[in-house]
Amino acid sequence: MIYADAVVTNISQLVTCAGEKPKTKNDMREAGLVEKAWLAALNGRIVFMGKEKDFKANVSLTRKARVIDASGLVGLPGFIDCHTHLPFAGDRAKEFSLRLAGYTYLQLAELGLGIQTTVEATRAIPAPELEDICLKRLETMLLNGATTIEAKSGYGLNREDELKQLRVLKNLARRQPVSIVPTFMGAHEIPPEFKSDHSSYIKLLKEELMPEIKASNLAEFFDIFCEPTVFNLDETRELAIQAIKLGYKLKIHTDEFVPIGGTELAVELGARSVEHLLNITPAGIEKLAGSRTAAILLPGVSFFLMTDKKAPARELIDCGTIVALASDFNPGSSNLFSMLFVLQLGVFTLKMTIEEALNACTINAAYALDRQDEAGSIEPGKSFDLILCDLPSYLHLAYELGKNPIKTVIKQGKVVVEQGCIKE
Amino acid sequence: MIYADAVVTNISQLVTCAGEKPKTKNDMREAGLVEKAWLAALNGRIVFMGKEKDFKANVSLTRKARVIDASGLVGLPGFIDCHTHLPFAGDRAKEFSLRLAGYTYLQLAELGLGIQTTVEATRAIPAPELEDICLKRLETMLLNGATTIEAKSGYGLNREDELKQLRVLKNLARRQPVSIVPTFMGAHEIPPEFKSDHSSYIKLLKEELMPEIKASNLAEFFDIFCEPTVFNLDETRELAIQAIKLGYKLKIHTDEFVPIGGTELAVELGARSVEHLLNITPAGIEKLAGSRTAAILLPGVSFFLMTDKKAPARELIDCGTIVALASDFNPGSSNLFSMLFVLQLGVFTLKMTIEEALNACTINAAYALDRQDEAGSIEPGKSFDLILCDLPSYLHLAYELGKNPIKTVIKQGKVVVEQGCIKE
């Protein structure tokens, strides 16, 4: 007999995203659909997924078990947002509106706008205030279905403020239900103090910050922005090798603007993921195909920056790359709070099928965070992270635009969103 | 002394969209911004808009007046969705997913999919059921800020079912708060029964349906789909002239696929609006410029159909056309419920500024429905239709993607959405 303290009955359509971990090629076209599904969990872990008959024959409820009737609803795993820059202060709405009014990049730089404004605001804000801002953002992300997110530092760019960002993430992990996977991204940009002296900043990262942050257990991943104008290929390699040596898992932002071999390097070093890839080369695609390095595509960036350039999602999937989708939530190039909208952008702008986009936002995104055994699909043994949507079928997740159909979010067995509102 | 029975105090930023009705060219770049605005209304009409000091000097509250504190919130006129195909039954999610999986238009037609499935479903459904479906859709639209919508028949394509659609609209206008402007669009498509005999269908429309529907006061506008494969230019002219003769206001769907002079004809006949315009010609643009015919652009269609072709919004605005935006809510080419998302598509895909998009979704959309003296801006004398958003500034309406910031919607002085939920 299986014991359960939480049950969801009669889900009209359950998209499990179960199967290979991660999924590639044709597996990505399978969303693991179960009609009229029953789900049971114990202590926040899924213990049963199947039909009513098997449920009744095998599952026994504890005395205080919670039962949720999901008739007429579509269920799916909580979304995994595997690439965000959550902990920043300030916003760039003014810069954004000037860009719309026709200001060029150079004109905006002359006005002192750009990433530097976010670095200044993030350095200036006290940690508790930053924490409160991020808490509100996480609530919005949760209302839109994210139950696990990755979050990067990288707007402090000095010891004190990178630590501040990462400590804020640690506190947030305790204060609210969304699981947070922290990434140290001191290599997001060259700080203004080191513009003409990259090597001293790299030394600071390698010899002081990276060891200290690892020792404090404040970050699981290390991420590097590999572009000719930020960290070139040699600098990226130097940082990446040190990251691996210290026990970080590795991510690399690359091929966003100018391809200089970052994807190839990432695969060679066994990075968990490469991100962006708008300008990935055929050589980069060939290297990724069949590798264990996931390609994290960020369609919000092309949309937000209004560029026709898109990551070659179809080509990547068709050649056997592990493709995941994420929001790249940040104030300059993707101020986007909703994984449901990311899924829709995957479909409408990257030409992914709905099933591919679903897998890319769940099980493959979990893989990109090394959480494939913990989250990203509805299977016994995994965390009970479930979204219930008021939709006629899972196809409507992409087919219905401009609405939030998510009624209920369950995180580790606890109802955290009810009737579309955060539950206290 | 001005008497008021409803007051909204201290709106951090109020976007009035007041000014010219409609707005063109540089006027479109003005959103009519008032900081720390106070608003007062009596019997659902705005009676005061201004600063606290003037409010206190001039406005006297009735005994049961309702006071809403809008500190920290952004206010704007309720959105006007000036082009929807609201009253249809069924959905086309299956067709949509096959399209994503690579099925061609011809393959889909061979499977019997396309507009015909919606005509069949709309003919088959009993009126009360259709009404309930539409009621749910209107709630979603209201939650996303629409307080007035246009709604077209055109999936019945016979006497009985066109009347059914229009009667449903009439009932809905009484059952819920969103104002509905009804359009008879029997000329949406040639019904299957008349595929080889256009002239008999046109005769039926002109001699029976158009007079009967006008006499029954079931529609204010008449709309025609002017395309070579639907109603050609001569047929469009014939129908349009009859519509005007009978007292309908005129709208024409044109230049969506193949330009055959529909825009030019519309301007010549004094149509209130032309819709779509993805393939409008230079001659069409020249004709529209400075005319009293509004151009209703529907950016959801390009997004939904994943085509790079867009309506030339910038060119139209710059040459002095009255530009409005709308959802084109329909099951085949724009299954889109949110005017806020339409505004964002106007900015991100048509390169409009935020102020232009705001005016296009409010005062210019009101003009396109001949409601410019009733709605679409916050000015004394107009209906008190207000949206309050939890945002730092109105720029964030476009800058923050993937969330619904609308907390409160007021329609004719009544709070109909509170804390983001429909109020019973």
Which secondary-structure segment (H or E) carries B147?
strand B146-152
Q: Is any Cβ of chain B less than 8 angstroms from the Cβ of A10?
A: no
CB pair distance less than 8 Å for B140 and A403: yes
| pLDDT reported for residue A107 | 86
Token pair of A123 as six digits = 């350095």
| pLDDT reported for residue A388 | 98
- A 10 A CB-CB count for B8 gives 25
| pLDDT reported for residue A105 | 74
Mean pLDDT of the region A351-367: 98
In the stretch 89-108 of chain A, residues with CB closer than 8 A to chain B read 91-94, 96-97, 100-101
Provide, as residue numbers in chain A, all residues whose Cβ is less than 8 Å from the Cβ of B97. Answer: 353-354, 395, 399
Token pair of B354 as six digits = 């935020």
What is the reported pTM?
0.97
**How far apart (Å, rounded) are the C-alpha atoms in residues B293 and B274?**
7
Residue B108 pLDDT grade (very low, low, confident, very high; cuts 50, 70, 90): confident
Residue A293 pLDDT grade (very low, low, confident, very high; cuts 50, 70, 90): very high
CB pair distance less than 8 Å for B401 and A300: yes
**How far apart (Å, rounded) are the C-alpha atoms in residues B180 and A39?**
43
**How far apart (Å, rounded) are the C-alpha atoms in residues B147 and B188?**
25
For residue B106, is pLDDT > 90? no
CA of A235 vs chain B CAs: smallest distance (Å): 34
CB pair distance less than 8 Å for A402 and B342: yes
Q: How high does pLDDT run on average in chain A?
A: 97
**How far apart (Å, rounded) are the C-alpha atoms in residues B151 and B131?**
13
Residue B109 pLDDT grade (very low, low, confident, very high; cuts 50, 70, 90): confident
Q: What percent of chain B has pLDDT over 90?
A: 95
| Span of A91-100, A125-134, B50-59, B165-174 with lowest mean pLDDT | A91-100
**How far apart (Å, rounded) are the C-alpha atoms in residues A326 and B399?**
18
Give per-residue pLDDT as tens, A18-54: 998 999 999 999 999 999 999 999 999 999 999 999 9
CB pair distance less than 8 Å for A399 and B337: no
| pLDDT reported for residue B423 | 87
| pLDDT reported for residue A329 | 98
Give per-residue pLDDT as tens, B126-168: 999 999 999 999 999 999 999 999 999 999 999 999 999 999 9
Residues 6+ apart with CB under 8 A from A164: A127, A130, A156
Q: What is the DSSP string of A54-87?
A: HHHHHEEEEEEEEEEE-TT-EEEEPEEE--B---
Q: Is any Cβ of chain B less than 8 angstroms from the Cβ of A341?
A: yes
- For residue B344, the SS3 value is helix
Token pair of A276 as six digits = 């962006």
Q: Which of A354, A402, A419 sits opposite B341 (nearest CB)?
A: A402
- Torsion angle, alpha carbons of B390, B394, B395, B400, to 10: 20
CB pair distance less than 8 Å for A144 and B393: no
CB B311 within 8 A of CB B350: yes
For residue B201, is pLDDT > 90? yes
Enumerate the β-bridge partners of residue B45. B42, B383
Residue A119 pLDDT grade (very low, low, confident, very high; cuts 50, 70, 90): very high
CA of B306 vs chain A CAs: smallest distance (Å): 6
Q: Is the peptide bond before B22 cis (omega within 30 degrees of 0)?
A: yes
DSSP structural state of residue B27: G
| pLDDT reported for residue B112 | 85
Which secondary-structure segment (H or E) carries A186?
strand A179-187
Residue in chain B closest to A327 (alpha carbons) equals B402
CB A142 within 8 A of CB A404: no
CA of B103 vs chain A CAs: smallest distance (Å): 12
Cross-sheet strand order for the sheet of A179-187? A79-81, A146-152, A179-187, A221-226, A249-254, A273-276, A294-297, A322-325
Q: Which of A91, A101, A327 sits opposite B392 (nearest CB)?
A: A91
What CATH class has B79-368?
alpha beta
Residues of chain B with CATH 3.20.20.140: 79-368
Provide, as residue numbers in chain B, all residues whose Cβ is less than 8 Å from the Cβ of A140. Answer: 403
Residue in chain B closest to A338 (alpha carbons) equals B402
| pLDDT reported for residue A101 | 86
Q: Is any Cβ of chain A less than 8 angstroms from the Cβ of B420?
A: yes
**How far apart (Å, rounded) are the C-alpha atoms in residues A238 and A235?**
5
Residues of chain B with CATH 2.30.40.10: 2-77+377-422
Mean pLDDT of the region A153-166: 98
| pLDDT reported for residue A249 | 98
CB A292 within 8 A of CB A328: no
Mean pLDDT of the region A286-293: 97
CATH of domain A2-77+377-422: 2.30.40.10
How many interchain CB pairs under 8 A, A with B?
118
Give per-residue pLDDT as tens, B333-392: 999 999 999 999 999 999 999 999 999 999 999 999 999 999 999 999 999 999 999 999
For residue A364, is pLDDT > 80? yes
CA of A70 vs chain B CAs: smallest distance (Å): 19
Residues 6+ apart with CB under 8 A from A44: A383, A384, A412, A413, A414
Q: Is any Cβ of chain B less than 8 angstroms from the Cβ of A231?
A: no
Q: Which of B15, B118, B317, B404 would you mutate first to test chain A, the one with the most A CBs within 10 A?
A: B404
